[in-house]
Amino acid sequence: MLDINKIRKDFPILKIKSNNKDLIFFDNGASSQKPKVVLDKIKEIYETKYANIHRGIYSLSQQSTKAYEESRKIIQKFLNAKSEKEIIFVRGATEAINLVAQSFGLNNFKKGDEVILSQMEHHSNIVPWQLLRDRLGIKINVIPINQDGDIDLNNFKKLLSNKVKLVSILHVSNALGTIVPIKELISISHKKKIPVLVDGCQSVPHMKVDVQNLDADFYCFSGHKIYGPTGIGILYSKKYLLEKMLPYQGGGEMISEVTFKKTTYQEPPHKYEAGTPNIVGSIALGTAIDYVKNINIEKIFQHEQNLLNYATDKIKSLNEVKIIGTSKNKAGIISFIVKNTHPNDIGVILDNHGIAVRTGHHCCQPLMQFYNIPATVRASFGLYNTLDEIDSFIDALKNAINLLR
């Protein structure tokens, strides 16, 4: 079991008041809070180790470069990638997906080729492929879900024609919490020699992810969801793909030699890291991942499952409330609606109780259209949340329902 009281002391923001109430932060699906060790690392780098990285012959630049590349190795080991050369620093999962769309898709797809997505995708895993569709004339096919929010693998298999060039799919739904059977889905795709890109934003902070075990071709996540800073994320890719793909952006760092006639490129991963990167964010992300590793990701998953089950049982006891997304295989996310009530009204009243939840379509408008609703209230849990907080949340939700009758 986790020592939650000890963990909570690591997060300075949990000591603040929100609307004169103790802050209860249930919006971890959007972004997580930061432990002091991450905040201290950011301060330390700027105060004692900051310089532009690579190529600097002076000591400070070499120290900064070493810290940056050590962070890459931390992330490589955390994901169990074969090599740190398979780890690319990006701004976040959105940029990672766009990188794959432009570097892999643009140069490998042609008119009539197909990309498969799921009904649950975040807009960041829909729009890049639509941009490519409009440019190249490719087709986007969608894996349907059932009312519980589960994917039917038989329906998925039916979509796997010889025109499919990529499957791009989330690991965990940010709106429903559904955990996709991603290893089986990848295995099915690979039998047809179709590569798979996995959006791991809602999985990496909450459960063990082993990219070799999954056999993922591409896997990405955002740092700010795993207790790291904003503006930094990771794209993992199998090395042979990175070696074949063209760069996403051009500029400093990614080049080997430049003339006005021709430019040659660095080897991966630097081939995909044009310009001055988010040096401090990259280093601090390594610190955040070390923090999670030291707590133990399996214990975090079990703790959040306990929170999910407890909150689900409590919400089910409220007649006016309907949970959206009832898969038996879920991460710590609950979306719900209240009868004859707009989610934003619930969110405002919960905020008055110091409780931060997300209301809206959660960047999943096609999914909301599937359920024929405009929005939901979403409570999403992190490693520092408690059963007592859920009790307070349920009390506040009851209060909101009574006020809005």
DSSP string over 64-118: HHHHHHHHHHHHHHHHT-S-GGGEEEESSHHHHHHHIIIIIIHHH--TT-EEEEE
Q: What is the helix (H) or strand (E) element at residue 289, kind and residue range?
A: helix 279-295
CA atoms within 13 A on the CB side of 154: 1
- The residues pairing with 220 across neighbouring beta strands, listed in sequence order, are 199, 235
What SS3 class is residue 360? strand
Using an 8 Å Cβ cutoff, are 96 and 249 in contact?
no
| Strand-strand pairing, 24-25 and 355-356 | parallel
Q: What angle do CA 120, 125, 130 make, to 5 degrees?
A: 110
| H-helix segments, 122-174 | 127-136, 153-158
**Predicted local confidence at residue 311, as pLDDT:** 98
Q: Cα separation of 279 and 402, whole Å?
A: 50
Question: What dihedral angle (degrees, nearest 10) is formed by the CA atoms of 16, 17, 22, 26?
Answer: -80
CATH class of 4-30+296-403: alpha beta
The CATH 3.90.1150.10 domain(s) of the chain lie at 4-30+296-403
Per-residue pLDDT tens over the stretch 308-318: 999 999 999 99
Cβ neighbours of residue 310 under 8 Å, at least 6 residues apart?
387, 390
**130, 127, 120: which is closest to 156 by C-alpha?**
120
CATH class of 39-294: alpha beta
**366, 289, 373, 325: which is closest to 180 by C-alpha?**
325
Q: Is 119 exposed, middle or buried (0-12, 13-18, 19+ CB in 10 A)?
A: middle
pLDDT tens across the length of the chain (405 residues)? 899 999 999 999 999 999 999 999 999 999 999 999 999 999 999 999 999 999 899 999 999 999 999 999 999 999 999 999 999 999 999 999 999 999 999 999 999 999 999 999 999 999 999 999 999 999 999 999 999 999 999 999 999 999 999 999 999 999 999 999 999 999 999 999 999 999 999 999 999 999 999 999 999 999 999 999 999 999 999 999 999 999 999 999 999 999 999 999 999 999 999 999 999 999 999 999 999 999 999 999 999 999 999 999 999 999 999 999 999 999 999 999 999 999 999 999 999 999 999 999 999 999 999 999 999 999 999 999 999 999 999 999 999 999 998
**Predicted local confidence at residue 55, as pLDDT:** 86
Q: What angle do helix axes 387-403 and 343-352 make, rounded to 10 degrees?
A: 120
What is the distance, to the nearest Å, from the Cα of residue 104 to the centroid of all Cα atoms in its chain? 20
Give the gyration radius of the chain's Cα atoms: 22
Q: Which of 201, 220, 363, 364 is catalytic?
A: 363
Q: What is the helix (H) or strand (E) element at residue 323, kind and residue range?
A: strand 321-324
Q: What share of the chain is helix, strand, coil (3-state, %, to 5)?
A: 45, 20, 35
> Which one-letter DSSP state was computed for residue 171?
S
Taken in order 99, 87, 171, 303, the sign of the CA dihedral is: negative
Question: What dihedral angle (degrees, nearest 10) is formed by the CA atoms of 367, 370, 376, 379?
Answer: -50
The CATH 3.40.640.10 domain(s) of the chain lie at 39-294
**Predicted local confidence at residue 1, as pLDDT:** 83
Per-residue pLDDT tens over the stretch 118-152: 999 999 999 999 999 999 999 999 999 999 999 99
Q: What angle do CA 402, 403, 405 make, to 5 degrees?
A: 65
317 token code pair: 């006891």
**143, 134, 146, 132: which is closest to 170 by C-alpha?**
143
What SS3 class is residue 243? helix
Tell me, yes or no, if 363 is annotated catalytic. Answer: yes
